[in-house]
Structure 1
Amino acid sequence: MALSSLVSAAASLWTKCFSVYSCTTTVARTTGFLPTSSICVKWLSNVASGPPKRPLNAYMRYVLQQQPIMVRLHPEIKSVDIIRKIAQQWRTLSPEQKKPFEEASVKAREQFKVDFQRYMAQLTPAQEKQHALDRKQRLAKRKAIRKKRELTSLGKPKRPRSPVNIYISEHYEEARGATTQAKMKSLMQDWRNLFSHQKQVYKQLAEDDKIRYKNEMKSWEEHMVEIGRADLLRVQIPSRGNRKTATKAKKKVVKRAMGKAKTTEKKATSSTTTKAAKTSKKT
């Protein structure tokens, strides 16, 4: 008797959940608008499933709402272009139109704080230590990604390629294999089968690329000193070891760059003075 009542209760609960899901889906299909409450999800988690995920901000909530609609209206457009269209729409929304998404984001952040405190309270000392270590690694990874993007935007030269990299880039198109992994495997096998004099060609190209990198890095570092970004120089001051030597080397690079900048400024000033003198003589 107890077993049958338990089964019937579970079936009733499942029916209610399915009806709520069907109702939400119908509203989304007919109106093209997802209710704010459907986006505001309560993060139910335990130690086994990991910490609760951070909630989405107002803009990302708008993206999730509009993306399926835009895909349905413009199936021929790429995903990147769809996101651009949604971003453009978001910028044109009024504060009143953005308000529901912002309020939902605030509520989700408050719920996240509660769930996170509950999650941390369940952890053992060893788990807390592991959580702190994981967080530290994530932050370091994000910092490395941001720094890489910054260096790319500042035009830092690409590192020199190895002989193998040059060989692979030149023969990738005609490589055997249907997938990238198969192509790389066949290319590495071909590289190992090359004779010494055949590899020497690519070794020489790699040496030339090193010279290119050295010259470009020298000019780039001088430019970084000129714009006040000496912290991006290759010669960094270590915490231990030969600290004095590293400091002298870095100062030498900065001094050379500053001297070059002053020379360029003097030439520009003298050129301007000469032109002004010639103009005064003519008058």
Structure 2
Amino acid sequence: MAPFSLLTASVSLLAKSFSVLSCTSTLARCTSVLPTAYVSPVKCLTSQASGPPKRPLNGYMRYVLQQQPIITRQNPEIKSVDIIRKIAQQWRTMSPEEKQPFEEASLRARQQFKVELQHYQAQLTPAQVQQQALEKRQRMAKRKAIRKKRELTNLGKPKRPRSPFNIFMSEHFEEARGTTTQAKMKSLLEDWRNLFSHQKQVYTQLAEDDKIRYKNEMKSWEDHMVEIGREDVIREQTLSAKKKPAAQTPAAKRGTKKAKAKVKVATTIGKSQMTRKTTKSSSAKTVRTTKT
């Protein structure tokens, strides 16, 4: 049995070696199109069976990936943000001839991406296509919400009021038990549940005060948005309230009732006068007819 098992292990090892060599040669064929100095190895079509192909990098991002380790070695004390700014400044000062290798590599990668995308989409079922369309709509809605939130922040929209627990958590977060944020929040939740009602009442009152603050700030902010012509960012309930006619005070209601009563009296008097005139004219006609 021992020689047979040894033979089986040898065959298995030989098969693995052939598979590794095959994958390496295939990868070399896929990446031989692009210069090794400007582009990282590109995935083959067979590697995209599990998911959609990734979009290729543009020329600028390829330059960033090439220069970032060089700048980091030359300036180890510089922050990552400053390194990116320095690379961006270099890219802006480069001539079109210097940018050409990166742009050409990006163009070839985009062409390969189109081929891979068509190959991937041809393997999808109708249900998978529908699911991808749904996920795309969800991503677009999420991006739209993020952009709108960022815009409202730039316009100075007031922050929403905090709950009693949020106020309690912000006051005791530093001394909370636990080393991670999740552990601290869990311990604070336990402490909050163990508080007595009169202890929670303090934070409840603070939350009510914060609601009043939010209401006042929102009213001022929305009035300002109306002045600058940005009614599209105002809440729907505020717009509907502005469209409704203003509620009349009790004094105004009494004045309206008096005015209606006066109109009714004047109408009644006018009708009685018209009736008397009609009666007089009828009697006069009757007298003239009798004399005749």
TM-score computed with the length of structure 1 as normaliser = 0.70
Q: 1:154 to 1:91 in 2, by over 3 A?
A: farther
Measured in 2, the distance between the counterparts of 1:250 and 1:111 equals: 56
Q: Look up the equivalent residue of 2:37 and give its one-letter code.
A: P
Q: 1:56 to 1:11 in 2, by over 3 A?
A: closer
Is residue 37 of structure 2 the alignment partner of residue 35 of structure 1? yes
Q: How does 1:1-283 map to 2 (within 5 A)?
A: 9-10=18-19, 13=22, 35-36=37-38, 38-39=39-40, 41-42=42-43, 44=45, 48-235=49-236, 248-249=240-241, 251=243
Q: 1:35 to 1:89 in 2, by over 3 A?
A: same
Q: Look up the equivalent residue of 2:93 and give its one-letter code.
A: T
Q: 1:82 to 1:54 in 2, by over 3 A?
A: same
Check whether the contact 1:51–1:119 (CA below 8 A) recurs between aligned residues. Answer: yes
Which deviates more, 205-214 or 9-18? Answer: 9-18
Deviations 1:120-156 (A, max 9, x none): 1111111111111111111112212222222222222
Check whether the contact 1:42–1:108 (CA below 8 A) recurs between aligned residues. Answer: no
Check whether the contact 1:45–1:52 (CA below 8 A) recurs between aligned residues. Answer: no
Check whether the contact 1:224–1:230 (CA below 8 A) recurs between aligned residues. Answer: yes
Q: Look up the equivalent residue of 1:186 and give its one-letter code.
A: S
CA RMSD of aligned residues (A): 3.2
Q: Look up the equivalent residue of 1:64 and give its one-letter code.
A: L
Identity, in percent, stands at 71
Determine helix, strand or coil for the equivalent of 1:35: coil
Determine helix, strand or coil for the equivalent of 1:39: coil
| Larger radius of gyration between Structure 1 and Structure 2 | 2
Measured in 2, the distance between the counterparts of 1:146 and 1:87 equals: 25
Measured in 1, the distance between the counterparts of 2:142 and 2:52 equals: 19
Q: 1:195 to 1:57 in 2, by over 3 A?
A: same
Q: Look up the equivalent residue of 1:248 and give its one-letter code.
A: S
Q: 1:221 to 1:94 in 2, by over 3 A?
A: farther
Measured in 1, the distance between the counterparts of 2:243 and 2:103 equals: 50
Measured in 1, the distance between the counterparts of 2:223 and 2:59 equals: 42
Unaligned runs of 5+ in 1: 25-32, 237-245, 253-283
Check whether the contact 1:43–1:52 (CA below 8 A) recurs between aligned residues. Answer: no
Q: Look up the equivalent residue of 1:73 and give its one-letter code.
A: Q
Measured in 1, the distance between the counterparts of 2:169 and 2:17 equals: 64
Q: 1:86 to 1:8 in 2, by over 3 A?
A: closer
Check whether the contact 1:54–1:112 (CA below 8 A) recurs between aligned residues. Answer: yes
Check whether the contact 2:67–2:87 (CA below 8 A) recurs between aligned residues. Answer: yes
Q: Look up the equivalent residue of 2:163 and give its one-letter code.
A: S
Q: 1:80 to 1:250 in 2, by over 3 A?
A: farther
Measured in 1, the distance between the counterparts of 2:24 and 2:120 equals: 30
Q: CA shift at 1:93, angstroms?
A: 2.6
Unaligned runs of 5+ in 2: 1-10, 245-292
Deviations 1:47-76 (A, max 9, x none): 741111111222222221222222222222
Check whether the contact 2:48–2:116 (CA below 8 A) recurs between aligned residues. Answer: no
2:267 aligns to what?
Answer: none
Deviations 1:54-103 (A, max 9, x none): 11222222221222222222222332332232223323333332232222
Q: 1:158 to 1:89 in 2, by over 3 A?
A: farther
